[in-house]
């Protein structure tokens, strides 16, 4: 399953939610949802702005985590 790494990347750059919303030119509520990995939907334009504000590629905003893969998975 994929998760957003926006908080991690922003904190590495000394940014908080308010600064992220300003730099990315997005609403604070949108930045807050992305920060906490709880967005209702993902918009390519918004993700592009966030990536640009963080100095990364859009693909860098995501981390793929193993879903366990224990017994019985193929």
**What pTM value is reported for the model?**
0.86
Segment (H or E) for 2: strand 2-4
pLDDT value at 13 more than 90? yes
**What burial letters (b/e) apply to 55-64, b meaning 16+ CB within 10 Å?**
eeeeeebeee
| CA-to-CA separations, 57 to 2, 24, 29, 50, in angstroms, rounded | 16, 14, 22, 9
The pLDDT tens digits for 14-72 are 999 999 999 999 999 999 999 999 999 999 999 999 999 999 999 999 999 887 655 55
Q: What is the pLDDT of residue 69?
A: 59
Q: What is the pLDDT of residue 71?
A: 57
Query: Max CA-CA distance within the chain?
Result: 47
In order of start, what are the domains of the chain with their CATH numbers?
2-64 (1.10.260.40)
């Amino acid at each position: 399953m994929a998760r957003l790494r926006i908080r991690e990347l922003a904190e590495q750059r000394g940014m908080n939610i308010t600064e992220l919303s300003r730099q990315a030119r997005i609403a604070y509520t949108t930045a807050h949802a992305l920060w906490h990995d709880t967005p209702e939907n993902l918009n390519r334009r918004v993700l592009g702005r966030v990536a640009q504000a963080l100095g990364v590629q859009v693909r860098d905003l995501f981390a793929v985590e193993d879903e366990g893969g224990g017994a019985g998975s193929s």
